[in-house]
Chains A and B, each alone.
Chain A
Amino acid sequence: MIQAIPLRHRRLLGSAGLYVAVAAYVVFALFPIFWTFKISVTPTALLYTQGATLWPGRTTVQNYVAVLLTTDFPRFFLNSVLVSGATALVVTVLASAAGYALSRFRFRGKQAVAFLLLLTQTFPLVMVIPPIYRIMGSLHLTNSLSGLVIIYVAFNIPFATFLMQTFCDGVPRDLEDAVLIDGGTRLQALTRVILPLTLPGMMATIGFVFTAAWSELLFALMLIDDPSRMTFAVGLLSFIGKFDVDWGQMMAASMLGLVPACLFFLLLQRYLVEGLSAGAVKG
């Protein structure tokens, strides 16, 4: 049946279908975020009476003003940027090395290591809070951003390592053998040849780790008491009072919170779009 339609029209249908599918997904992905934005510009008095409409009768920027000028949000923001950035950096270095090791070497204990990485993901974090709190306490790292970074690094290492291993696996061995034969060290092979070829994967990993650290709530809440060290997610939680949730401000803060993740990702996009540059493979 399809064969009966001329190729040109088939292609057109195909692309039309493509665009429809993409548009449908974009609407799905954006709608809750649009809703968040809508609530952030709705005046409190209209919040519930006009709750279900697609756009409020009156809009206001009061929530954004309040969040930026009267709350500690700029501080929380900064803390989150520091923590997430540090986490992403450290994890990338550690996981690239570890992923490379798992990819390239055969050694006793390799299965055990992989199993260990997996095992740490299966235990709900809620259960490890008390022991971690005690360990961090003994190291005097509670209530500190560096303590939080260490914890986030640990959380993200398994996932990042597995990803980096998979991407390293995709790079043919002859490339680094070439470097070694030429007299380079393995480390040079890793940094100069392998990692650049795993760039899309590495960028995806960095993006994920940054975002994971940015939105993490539980540990940031449990570990940090000092308001000057609180992160963005904990700050959001503080809008939820017992008797009054300040939805407008909370959603305004959430919209602002999307900005760093977006920016970060826009920066990384370039590397995701570039595939293997021609010529490197057969080099």
Chain B
Amino acid sequence: MKNKPGCRLKGLLKTATAAMVLGVLSRPVWADTTLKVVEVIPSPARTALLQQEFASFEKSHPGIKVQLTSLPWAEAFEKFLNMVQAGDTPDIVEMPDRWLGLYANNDELLDLTADFKRTSSLANLSDRALQFGSAVRGKLYEIPYGFYVRGLFWNKKLFAQAGLSAPPATLADFVSDAKKISAMPGKYGYCMRGGPGGFSGITMFMNTMDGQPGYFHSDGTSTLSDPGAIQGLQLLATMYKDGSAPPDSVNWGFNEIVAGFDSGTCAMLDQDPDALIGIAGKMNADDFAVAPIPVGPGGHAYPTLGYGGWSIFANSSHKDAAWQLLSFMVSPDNNLAWSKVVGTLPIYKDAEQNAHFQSDKFKGWFTELNDGSKYVLVTPPTYLEGFGDLYDNISIKTFQQVLLGQRTAKDVADQWASYLTDQLKAYKAHQSAN
């Protein structure tokens, strides 16, 4: 065959066809796909950010439409459960850490391990993020979008008035500082959370006093009935009895502790970075700061770590498109913007280099994140199916009974411990059966 123009044209055609085919193969054509995304902790700023992200995603992926449903947090758990039970499942759902055990253990979620491995944009995800996303059976059922780490908010003004210049470094300091502040009329040292949502804070004190992180010993029994842990629970009860916490705090939930802190009624509050959003609007920025959690007798502290993330439902009919969207939502740039709006700590390594996270508000949390020798972060065992009942129901009533002196700390701690031990046994049995 001589180099005739016809031959060259044929060659060009072949190459063009090959390129087109390759192009089509590597960039799937989305034919009118609608992805349903459900968020469960909405706020106006956050929903707006999501809509923005979705708009730019839709532009770069023509054919895909994203439909966002925002459930009011106050009833989100019940409503979402209702939806799933009735078969009305989305493609992507926001998965708070405490829901993961329920949905993952019941095989409602997709294992994202393979998808994650082949997505280069997420390569810099921190090990912690991967670890927590794989909490259930070691499979990546959730990609976390950020961390909530417990820190100690303290009121600089009240401390100064009580003659204290720095936040407490140890638990002993914590108790005595609270007492000093409570000596001032109408003021209290600690905004105790005796109502809903207090359990992780309580166990944090128990762990710290006990000198052991985590909810379980290696043999599967719970740490909560250790003598040190019981002392930790007793510490809180004694503070309440001595008047270091407001008497009404036996019933305080999130709104009340924040109201107590903002109004200058109580001087210390253990909370996560997302509480900053609510507090910053209502309090003078110079009046408070965030310190690491005080260390226990062993010189360690065990702040709780929580997270939220995104999961894909196993019965989604658009798994590929859903992964595209999810990986876009948690990509480094989007995640940074997200963290600023939502108030979480970002999931990538070297996150705190960003200027936003360098104020004295964030110092406490990053100290905890970075100083592994002093601070071990504890995640609650959200992989246990019955953990939600303990957290949202059983623990509240029983903790209040301890505060009110109706039951002893040992009694209640033992009850929690045996509940958790049984839950873990059931979980392991279920695992080995699979």
Contacts and interface: CB of A to CB of B under 8 A. Distances in A.
Interface in A219-241: 221-222, 225, 227, 234, 237-238, 240-241
B41 A48 contact: no
Given A130-B85, A134-B86, A241-B43, A51 B278 contact: no
B282 A133 contact: no
B358 interface: no
Contact of A243 (B82, B83, B86, B278): B278
Contacts of B281: 44-45, 244
Given A133-B86, A244-B277, A48 B69 contact: no
A60 B263 CA distance: 20
Of A47, A48, A237, A240, chain B has the most CB atoms within 10 Å of the CB of: A48
A130 B73 contact: no
A70 B44 CA distance: 10
Interface residues of A, number: 26
B82 A130 contact: yes
Contact of A241 (B41, B88, B259, B264): B41
B53 interface: no
A137 B42 contact: no
Interface string A115-134: 00000000000000110011
Interface string A193-228: 000000000000000000000000000011001010
Of A48, A142, A222, A244, chain B has the most CB atoms within 10 Å of the CB of: A244
A242 interface: yes
B288 to A, nearest CB: 13
B255 A245 contact: yes
Contacts of A3: none
A221 B79 contact: yes
B70 interface: yes
Contacts of A47: 262, 282
A49 interface: yes
A142 B88 CA distance: 11
Contacts of B282: 44-45, 47-49
Nearest to B272: A243
Interface in B52-80: 69-70, 72-75, 78-79
B99 interface: no
B193 to A, nearest CB: 14
Contacts of A49: 262-264, 282
Nearest to B85: A130
A243 B75 contact: no
A243 B275 contact: yes
A243 B74 CA distance: 11
A137 B43 CA distance: 29
Contacts of B108: none
Contacts of B74: 237, 240
Contacts, number: 71
B1 to A, nearest CB: 65
- Interface of B (DSSP majority class): helix
Contact of B72 (A48, A51, A238, A243): A238
Interface string A50-74: 0100000000000000000010000
Interface size class of B (residues with CB under 8 A): 20 to 34
Given A49-B262, A242-B41, A133 B82 contact: yes
B391 interface: no
A241 B341 CA distance: 14
Of A134, A137, A234, A237, chain B has the most CB atoms within 10 Å of the CB of: A237
Contacts of A133: 82, 86
B82 A234 contact: no
Contacts of A134: 86
Contact of A137 (B44, B86, B262, B264): B86
A242 B148 CA distance: 13
A243 B69 contact: no
A221 B278 contact: no
Nearest to B73: A242
Contacts of B275: 243
Given A241-B42, A241-B43, A242-B41, A51 B263 contact: yes
Contact of B75 (A45, A48, A237, A245): A237
Contacts of A245: 255, 278
B274 interface: yes
Nearest to B82: A222
Interface in A74-116: none
A49 B42 CA distance: 26
A217 to B, nearest CB: 8
B343 interface: yes
B116 interface: no
Interface string B248-267: 00000011000100111000
Given A133-B82, A133-B86, A238-B72, A243 B277 contact: yes
Given A44-B281, A133-B82, A243 B70 contact: no
Interface string B221-261: 00000000000000000000000000000000011000100
Given A48-B262, A142-B88, A243-B277, 8 more contacts: A49-B264, A133-B82, A221-B72, A221-B75, A222-B78, A237-B75, A241-B43, A242-B73
26 contacts: A44-B282, A47-B262, A47-B282, A48-B263, A48-B282, A49-B263, A49-B264, A51-B263, A70-B44, A130-B82, A130-B86, A133-B82, A133-B86, A137-B88, A142-B88, A221-B72, A221-B75, A238-B70, A241-B41, A241-B42, A242-B73, A243-B43, A243-B274, A243-B275, A243-B278, A245-B255
